[in-house]
């Protein structure tokens, strides 16, 4: 490998597989790789995968300028309740805000409704004497001696991390910062998260919850990043390591250590960014991003080329489809819906004798039956294999052989026999049920967002996404699918087009009509300086631009609407954007109602060139890429019929493929139904038009 070569490495740790994309910045060529995730220590899979990549591209790490990493460490620690022993310090009288929540039931008719257990048990929550007015002025000064005693008591009780969330600290951080200084000086063994730094916004419960989540996972992030840096360093990597943020930017390790809550959805976001980038290239404004991996499926609506950013995200929901049943995390997050439907989703017969698929997953260990690693429960991957959609000898490019006979026997035993189905009928039932599960969830999600899933172009990726895209899209009523090259590792590829960016926010409650243009300049200037400091820590010399936004609402409302701001900012321009967004989202806007500014937001973005990706194409016609034919299930005839099989990198640009057909890549497989036609776009993706 020549010394002048320069690379970027994207690494996405999923629930089943860890994906890698190695991009040559000079040529635009890229290599993909997948290994099974190691749940006990995800950095092991990273090192293992890097070692395998090094066998093909010897010494590449020493020439890698950027390694960008997305991790499930934070979300897994929350879902599995494997975080640090955490304490909470609250204003006197507000110890129980985590348990009282918003005093709203997510299902008003369910008198037995339950909620996730708080991150901090009541015994580990303490109070301090202090009180601020809502404007930040001091009503009762902090008793620092008492605060010192509280910290000492928490340390004596074995607390590892402390969340400090005092009333109205978004308006005046001084009391929280005083507690932080005492902890740093006298109790350095404690990790401390201040709500005025984690989420300096109004909404007491959400701010406390977000800070508690940050404190809960903070002690895990530092040793994890240290192990990861050591493992990569041992392999020859000495350059910059970045981490993917939930809001769509990337940042350096120091910010990730301080605010790990910002990485809660760092993996799936990469695919959304890559899909939005593809949509801009293809001049498609409205996309339905569909990512189906080994453990979950994710979806996101992209309107006018921009994914929606949410600040009311929830994790750990008791009921997956019921908003309010989870733990709120008030940090910027690309608005993604997660569905318990992936290649590893387990099929079973419930107590009513009905077929269910997911949300339980076989994951990476033991995995589906066909992996031959001890799995005994039939999964979606087993069904897709029995249906002929997957080649048992070419899974992961032939690096992992699948056992079709074992998958067939498992499906017949657990599903076919109880329902009186043949093995093929049972496998198709599994395939259909998981498609309907995903379509049902996404219909609801799209409706809530004011979007139309049927009118959008489906961008399908992930290891299982292109296999299910035809059936899934038809259930939604969509007529066009786009499948990118490198679909199986598309989220990791998305990391390489993500900007170094960071968002900061601050609550500023004010009637919109009373504000002058100069007020906005003053408000935003401070936020821009704060955001720039964070971005400079990861991109010291890059030019930086700023994106402004505001959270706005009608006077008297609790929830807000986020509106992006550009050009000249005034009360009138903000009101105009707010009314248009409110109308689009809820179907009606009220011009006679008073509008209130709630929170200001700024995102600092480093100007970093996005490398062009060069893809190999074949020189002959479609027949030159043919691998022959394979028997696979056709739902129109209800029988196994011949499907033409193609190798994707051998297909020439402009090739047209009539279904039924299968297009194989090392990391994914595209199934083109009998009533569909596909065309290879010269810019590197396959467009599938669905007929009927």
Domains, the chain:
7-78+223-263 (3.30.420.40), 83-214 (3.40.50), 345-432 (no CATH), 501-606 (no CATH), 622-679 (no CATH)
Q: What is the pLDDT at residue 95?
A: 93
Q: What is the pLDDT at residue 98?
A: 93
Distances (CA, A) of 285 to 279, 415, 493, 521, 614: 7, 42, 21, 31, 23
**How far out from the chain centre does Cα 364 lie?**
19
SS (H, E, C) 195-248: HHHHCCCCCHHHHHHHHHHHHHHHHHHHHHHHHHHHHHHHCCCCCEEEEECCCC
Four-CA torsion 474, 476, 477, 482, nearest 10 degrees:
-70
Distances (CA, A) of 350 to 296, 358, 380, 485, 644: 20, 11, 17, 38, 37
- CB of 115 within 8 A of CB of 98? no
Question: For residues 188 and 641, what is the distance between their CA atoms, to the nearest angstrom?
Answer: 67
Question: For residues 360 and 378, what is the distance between their CA atoms, to the nearest angstrom?
Answer: 11
Q: What is the pLDDT at residue 446?
A: 86
- By DSSP bridging, strand 544-554 and strand 561-565 are antiparallel
Question: For residues 517 and 279, what is the distance between their CA atoms, to the nearest angstrom?
Answer: 35
Q: What is the pLDDT at residue 2?
A: 42
Residue 129, judged by CB atoms within 10 A of its CB (0-12, 13-18, 19+), counts as middle
> How many residues in the chain?
692
- CB of 200 within 8 A of CB of 215? no
Q: What is the pLDDT at residue 1?
A: 39
DSSP class of 400: B
Q: What is the pLDDT at residue 90?
A: 97
Phi-psi region of 531 (alpha: psi -120 to 50; beta: other; left: phi over 0): alpha
**How far out from the chain centre does Cα 563 lie?**
22
Q: What is the pLDDT at residue 545?
A: 92
Task: List the one residue out of 684, 670, 666, 671 whose CA is nearest residue 17.
Answer: 666
Give helix 204-234 / helix 42-56 axis angle, nearest 10°: 40
Residues of the chain predicted below pLDDT 70: 1-4, 320-321, 364, 614-623, 692
Q: Phi first, then psi: give them for residue 239, nearest 5 degrees.
A: -95, -155
Q: What is the pLDDT at residue 8?
A: 86
**What single string gives the DSSP state of each residue in 459-501?**
EEESSSHHHHHHHHHHHHT--EEEEETTGGGHHHHHHTT--BE
Record the pTM. Answer: 0.82
Q: List, in order, residues 6 or more apart from 85 with CB less than 8 Å away.
A: 124, 158, 159, 160, 161
Four-CA torsion 564, 567, 568, 570, nearest 10 degrees:
-10
Compute how many other C-beta atoms are within 10 angstroms of the C-beta atom of residue 36.
20
Q: Phi first, then psi: give them for residue 39, nearest 5 degrees.
A: -60, -35
Question: For residues 438 and 447, what is the distance between their CA atoms, to the nearest angstrom?
Answer: 14
Question: For residues 617 and 75, what is the distance between their CA atoms, to the nearest angstrom?
Answer: 39
**What single string gives the DSSP state of each residue in 19-53?**
EEEEEETTT--EEEEEEE--TT-HHHHHHHHHHHH
Q: What is the pLDDT at residue 448?
A: 78
Task: List the one residue out of 514, 647, 621, 523 whose CA is nearest residue 571.
Answer: 514
Task: List the one residue out of 204, 191, 172 whose CA is nearest residue 261.
Answer: 191
Residue 636, judged by CB atoms within 10 A of its CB (0-12, 13-18, 19+), counts as exposed
Task: List the one residue out of 495, 617, 114, 569 whose CA is nearest residue 326.
Answer: 114
Question: For residues 56 and 491, what is the distance between their CA atoms, to the nearest angstrom?
Answer: 22
Q: What is the pLDDT at residue 429?
A: 96
Q: What is the pLDDT at residue 370?
A: 94
């Amino acid at each position: 490998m020549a010394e002048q070569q320069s690379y970027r490495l994207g690494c996405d740790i999923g629930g089943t597989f860890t994906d890698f994309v190695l991009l040559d910045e000079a040529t635009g060529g890229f290599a993909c790789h997948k290994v099974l995730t190691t749940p006990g220590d995800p950095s092991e899979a990273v090192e293992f995968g890097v070692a395998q990549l090094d066998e093909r591209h010897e010494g590449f790490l020493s020439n890698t300028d950027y390694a960008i990493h997305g991790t499930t460490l934070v979300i897994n620690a929350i879902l599995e309740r494997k975080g640090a022993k955490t304490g909470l310090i609250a204003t006197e009288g507000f110890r129980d805000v985590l348990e009282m929540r918003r005093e709203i039931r997510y299902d008003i008719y369910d008198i037995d409704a339950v909620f996730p257990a708080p991150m901090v048990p009541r015994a580990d929550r303490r109070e301090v004497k202090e009180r601020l007015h809502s404007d930040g002025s001091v009503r009762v000064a902090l008793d620092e001696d008492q605060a010192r005693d509280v910290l000492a008591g928490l340390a004596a009780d074995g607390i590892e991390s402390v969340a400090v969330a005092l009333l109205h600290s978004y308006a005046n951080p001084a009391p929280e910062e005083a507690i932080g200084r005492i902890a740093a000086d006298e109790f350095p063994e404690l990790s401390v998260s201040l709500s005025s730094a984690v989420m300096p916004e109004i909404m007491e419960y959400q701010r406390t919850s977000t800070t508690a989540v940050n404190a809960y996972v903070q002690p895990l992030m530092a040793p994890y990043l240290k192990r990861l840096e050591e493992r990569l360093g041992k392999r020859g990597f000495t350059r910059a390591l970045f981490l993917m943020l939930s809001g769509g930017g990337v940042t350096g390790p120091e910010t990730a250590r301080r605010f790990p809550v910002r990485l809660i959805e760092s993996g799936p976001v990469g695919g959304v960014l890559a899909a939005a980038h593809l949509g801009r290239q293809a001049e498609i404004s409205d996309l339905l991003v569909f990512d189906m991996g080994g453990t979950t499926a994710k979806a996101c609506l992209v309107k006018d080329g921009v994914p929606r950013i949410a600040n009311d995200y929830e994790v750990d929901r008791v009921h997956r489809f019921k908003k309010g049943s989870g733990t709120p995390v008030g940090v910027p997050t690309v608005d993604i819906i997660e569905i318990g439907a992936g290649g590893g989703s387990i099929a079973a017969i419930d107590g009513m004798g009905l077929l269910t698929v997911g949300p339980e997953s076989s994951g990476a260990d033991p995995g589906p039956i066909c992996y031959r690693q001890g799995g005994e429960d039939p999964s979606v991957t087993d069904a897709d294999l029995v249906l002929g959609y997957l080649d048992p000898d070419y899974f992961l490019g032939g690096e992992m052989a699948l056992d079709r006979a074992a998958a067939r026997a498992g499906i017949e035993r657990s599903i076919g026999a109880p329902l009186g189905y043949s093995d093929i009928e049972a496998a198709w039932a599994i395939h259909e049920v998981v498609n309907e599960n995903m379509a049902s969830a996404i219909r609801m999600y799209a409706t809530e967002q004011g979007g139309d899933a049927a009118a959008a172009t489906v961008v399908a990726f992930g290891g299982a996404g292109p296999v299910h895209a035809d059936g899934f899209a038809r259930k939604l009523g969509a007529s066009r699918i786009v499948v990118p090259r490198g679909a199986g590792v598309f989220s990791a590829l998305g990391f390489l087009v993500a900007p170094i960016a960071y968002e900061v926010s601050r609550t500023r409650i004010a009637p919109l009509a009373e504000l002058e243009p100069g007020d906005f300049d003053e408000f935003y200037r401070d936020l821009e300086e704060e955001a720039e400091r964070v971005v400079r820590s990861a991109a010291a010399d890059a030019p930086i631009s700023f994106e402004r936004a505001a959270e706005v609402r009608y006077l008297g409302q609790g929830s807000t609407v986020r509106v992006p701001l550009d050009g000249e900012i005034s009360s009138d321009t903000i009101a105009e954007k707010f009314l248009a967004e409110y109308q689009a989202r809820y179907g009606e806007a009220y011009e006679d109602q008073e509008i209130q500014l709630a929170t200001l937001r700024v995102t600092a973005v480093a100007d970093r060139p996005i490398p062009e990706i060069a893809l190999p194409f074949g020189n002959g016609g479609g027949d030159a890429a043919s691998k022959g034919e394979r028997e696979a299930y056709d739902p129109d005839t209800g029988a196994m019929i011949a499907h033409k099989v193609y190798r994707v990198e051998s297909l020439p640009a402009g090739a047209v493929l009539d279904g039924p057909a299968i297009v194989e890549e090392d990391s994914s497989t595209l199934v083109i139904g009998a009533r569909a036609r596909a065309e290879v776009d010269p810019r590197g993706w396959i467009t599938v038009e669905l007929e009927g």
